[in-house]
Structure 1
Amino acid sequence: MTRATARFRRTASALLAMTLAGVSLAAGLAVAPAAQADAVRDKEHWLAGSGITKAWEVSKGAGVKVAVIDSGVDAGHPDLKGVVTGGYDASGAGKPNGQKTLGIKPEHGTLVATMLAGRGHQPAKSSASPSPSPSTAGPDGMVGVAPEAEILSVSTWLGSENPAGKSDQDQIPEAVRWAVDNGARVINISLGSTTPQWPQSWDAAFLYAEQKDVVIVAAAGNRIGGNLQVGAPATIPGVLTVAGLDRKGVASVDSSSQGISIGVAAPAEKLLGGLPGGGYAEWAGTSGAAPIVAGVAALIRSKWPEMSAKQVINRIVSTAKDAGPSGKDPLYGFGVLNAEAALKASVTEAAVNPLGSISDWIRVHRRGNLATPAPLPTSDVASAVPTLPDPTVPAAKAPSQRDSAIGGAVVIGSAVLFLAIIAAAAFQLRRAARDPRMGREDPDTGVFDSVDSGGKRS
């Protein structure tokens, strides 16, 4: 590895780590007491406000696996009993099942998971009673957007130096590929970077997810965390990027960033989520807006199991309530999430993903060249057999002889022009050396001082 390559890897890793802390934006992680139904459920304002309770009349996410690529999920939280059905550790520093909470914000993954698929729990006095089914969630605790969906916890170490030594560039593609191979129909990524670029090592994994028809939902990032503009992976074409709203339904000043890749906006302030160990916390940020949208994607995939990923995304963005400037804009994307409409409205089928295609992007910007695909999970972790062993990019058509001839003429013409420019520059330098009026170079600074017609410096 060259020093330049190593420096790039360190820089990319630091950028991602910085923004994980920014995306979570926990408001002091105000731990809530052991609450009764009205103390927790009443704080889940997004359930009614975003039309989710109405969408439950159609679907609650049964049969859909959603991968949470994050800091690990505590499956022992009372509201996640029976929810986490699998997992994997992509960091090398956690448990094989992905349920050890890691990194600088170990609570992050559990906050996300409870918002996405929490099922609540029965009060302690009824602990001897059978656990409630997802459709009759307990009266206490968090109920997620898709309370009948399953969670796959894929743990990563982000936000500080990984003791196992695996970088973000290695962990993210490995996490995405594992999630796809193990049945995830939706992937939630509530993390991001401060740069729109992503390492080429990510290309193959995100292309693999696209080719396997998986919906990827990502957080746009937060201004207060340093993300004035959307950063990767939320800039990857085809990813459903989620911006944040304040309690008035307006683009959040602190808890959102802006960018052309934003697809939809969802609540991002005064959120509530579960903490490892069984508690709750109030928090804010697009980290929490993303699982709201990912949950709606799970509701849709449960209702229409054969619906393609691009149609799921199209259904979400085309039913969103327009906000800001008319049409798609860099603050709200296509508009504000409307879960009821996404599940009930008649939507015209889209020919393509309205948020683009990573396949097309690779063909144009990488010239069809992919980085070495991320390694598949180790043999000791059960993995579904992929139907597409390696991502493929449609080959560009070979240039015709006419194209080659034109290209050769351009090269020759460019070479002649270059030589002419060099000759003219040499002439001007010789002239300057003979004529003091043309200027004189300072030996210390290397800057040319202008001189007036009398030969004096101006």
Structure 2
Amino acid sequence: MRAAVIYTGIFVLMLMLWTPAGSAQRAVGGCDCIPDQVIVQLLDPATLPAVAAQYGLDPQPVSQVATPPIFLLTITNGQTPEQVVAAMTTPAPGDPRVIFAEVNRKLSQVERTGLDWTQGRSWAIGRSWAIGGSSKGYSRQWFTQRIRLNEAFEQGQTRGEGVTVAVLDTGIDLSHPAFSGRLVEPKLRWDFVDNDSDPSEVGTLRVDPAFGHGTHVAGIVAITAPAAKIMPLRVLDQNGEGELWRITAALIWAANNGAEVANLSFGYPDDVRLIKDLVECADVGTTPNGTTFPIGANRMAVVAASGNGGNRIPVFPAAEDLNGMLGVGASTRVDLLAAFTSYDRSWVEVTAPGEDIVSAIPGGRYALWTGTSMAAPIVSGITALVRAKNPQLTIPHDWLDIVKETSVDKRFGNVPPWGEVRLNRVDALCAVTNTINCPIPSSVTTDFGIDYKQTK
């Protein structure tokens, strides 16, 4: 449902039932989170009234999910979310009735401008030459050659048939020719911002910097795995912002409606428990502490962009370092780490081309965009190819392991500001043929003025 004025209320999932949250999104003190809300998991749901009374919370949850239950609760005593979480969790080990408590923090597309933990890199800013590309440029661009995509189609005999990739983003231009015949049926799409079945993008080209992000990301999935289906799920608003509970709802929706790969081209600067537990459950059915989510036997791999900070500062969820998720950095045309990439070898497991990638934008057009948001959907597409090629493998981390272990293992010594770099640039041909020692192509060893010393 589209309107001239966008409704900004928060909608959340309660075992697939929708409930509007009354608070508007704004920063609270130093917390970039939803005001008047906390997320709490209790060992025993029967203790909720007592816990709510002690910490100034409404005992009637806004929503809940998982077993043991994870509640989204409203703060009623005027304290900030950070103050309530601190009261529950400090001093360690905290309230014994509480498994974890955290704020319902906001998150953003990693190309969004104005963030202190990532750099905005957009075709909409100083890149007007990139607007108005062609379908020919889309189908013949450099990254498909670098990852040997056509060779993978021919030798692997798969283009992602039977696999669905969920794209959690700003929405999509549903009528763009790049998606003709490639989207899931309408009943499987959803807008988690406006709470309706039309996940179209909202905004204006060149006015709203986030506008087109989801369409561009989905277009990259479409070219990498052209026979896979794309499930567009709008979780980021017109400003490129979302929040954790909304993402949780969308991931559960995706898993329950047939998605086997989920692409997350967004991030946040703090570690959180809720998404970590859900990703672990989507991988193997439960978490180490026994938490389960309402996804039944459905399993789903998750691919997340590492962020564009150009430093080693972790960006989550990519930095969670989970078996069922790959954190993805960006590589260049000459197989070097892109200068803008947030990277540390401890949590960025693979890279993929991420500079000047041609893809779809709203209005049936094409444009270039740069960022790890563009690298992640290449990895999501290759994961779909691997899944289609290996139907006997039913655990998502097995598909992701193949993508990682068949990557181009190009290593460099001390590269400021990242230290030791292991590129691990994905290769579609090696992935679908399960070739572990993927050959290192010849290339130059400098880029963006950075001196690289290759060690392997």
Which string of whole-angstrom CA distances, capped at 9 and with x for unpartnered residues, describes residues 18-52 of structure 1? 74515772233544436362x4433x211111121
Which string of whole-angstrom CA distances, capped at 9 and with x for unpartnered residues, describes residues 78-115 of structure 1? 11112111444453326424234468613111001111
Letter in 2 for 1:115: I
Change (3 A) 1:311 1:204: closer
Secondary structure of the equivalent of 1:340?
Answer: helix
Distance 2:230 2:282 in 1: 17
1:184 aligns with 2:268: no
1:13 aligns with 2:99: no
Corresponding residue for residue 215 of structure 2 = 110
Q: Which of 411, 415, 423 is the equivalent residue of 1:324?
A: 411
Distance 2:304 2:425 in 1: 16
Distance 1:53 1:221 in 2: 28
Q: Which of 222, 244, 249 is the equivalent residue of 2:308?
A: 222
Corresponding residue for residue 152 of structure 2 = 55
Distance 2:262 2:405 in 1: 20
RMSD across aligned positions (CA): 3.0
Q: Which of 317, 321, 325 is the equivalent residue of 1:233?
A: 317
Distance 1:40 1:213 in 2: 31
Matching of residues 379-394 of structure 1 within 5 Å: none
Structure 1 residue 53 displacement after superposition: 1.3
Structure 1 residue 306 displacement after superposition: 2.5
Matching of residues 419-430 of structure 1 within 5 Å: none
Distance 2:110 2:374 in 1: 14
1:345 aligns with 2:441: no
Corresponding residue for residue 454 of structure 1 = none
Q: Which of 368, 371, 376 is the equivalent residue of 1:290?
A: 376
Letter in 1 for 2:182: V
Distance 1:24 1:60 in 2: 32
Secondary structure of the equivalent of 1:67?
Answer: strand
Structure 1 residue 154 displacement after superposition: 0.9
Which string of whole-angstrom CA distances, capped at 9 and with x for unpartnered residues, describes residues 208-240 of structure 1? 31224311111011125xx64231111221211
Distance 1:34 1:268 in 2: 17
More displaced 10-residue stretch of structure 1: 248-257 or 268-277: 248-257
1:149 aligns with 2:228: yes
Structure 1 residue 249 displacement after superposition: 1.1
Letter in 2 for 1:315: I
**TM-score normalised over the length of structure 2:** 0.61
Change (3 A) 1:159 1:206: farther
Q: Which of 291, 313, 336 is the equivalent residue of 2:425?
A: 336
1:98 aligns with 2:199: yes
Structure 1 residue 341 displacement after superposition: 0.8
Corresponding residue for residue 281 of structure 2 = 208
Q: Which of 122, 137, 140 is the equivalent residue of 1:26?
A: 122
Letter in 1 for 2:177: P
Distance 2:162 2:196 in 1: 25
Runs of 5+ unmatched residues, structure 1: 118-143, 349-458
Distance 1:203 1:90 in 2: 23
Corresponding residue for residue 312 of structure 1 = 399
Structure 1 residue 265 displacement after superposition: 0.9
Change (3 A) 1:67 1:341: same
Letter in 1 for 2:199: G
Structure 1 residue 277 displacement after superposition: 1.1
Contact in 1 for aligned 2:201/2:214 (Cα 8 Å)? no
Distance 1:171 1:332 in 2: 34
Distance 1:161 1:345 in 2: 37
Structure 1 residue 299 displacement after superposition: 0.6
Which string of whole-angstrom CA distances, capped at 9 and with x for unpartnered residues, describes residues 416-443 of structure 1? xxxxxxxxxxxxxxxxxxxxxxxxxxxx
Higher helix residue share: 1
Distance 1:71 1:330 in 2: 34
Change (3 A) 1:53 1:170: same
Change (3 A) 1:34 1:223: closer
Matching of residues 436-447 of structure 1 within 5 Å: none
Structure 1 residue 298 displacement after superposition: 0.5
Which string of whole-angstrom CA distances, capped at 9 and with x for unpartnered residues, describes residues 160-183 of structure 1? 497xxxx60211111111100001
Runs of 5+ unmatched residues, structure 2: 1-74, 86-100, 113-117, 286-297, 438-456
Change (3 A) 1:218 1:342: same
Comparing both chains, which one has the higher relative contact order based on Cα–Cα distances under 8 Å and sequence gaps of 6 or more?
1
Distance 1:177 1:331 in 2: 37
Distance 1:18 1:65 in 2: 22
Instruction: Please tell me whether Structure 1 or Structure 2 has the larger radius of gyration of its CA atoms.
Output: 1
Contact in 1 for aligned 2:305/2:372 (Cα 8 Å)? yes
Distance 1:76 1:304 in 2: 32
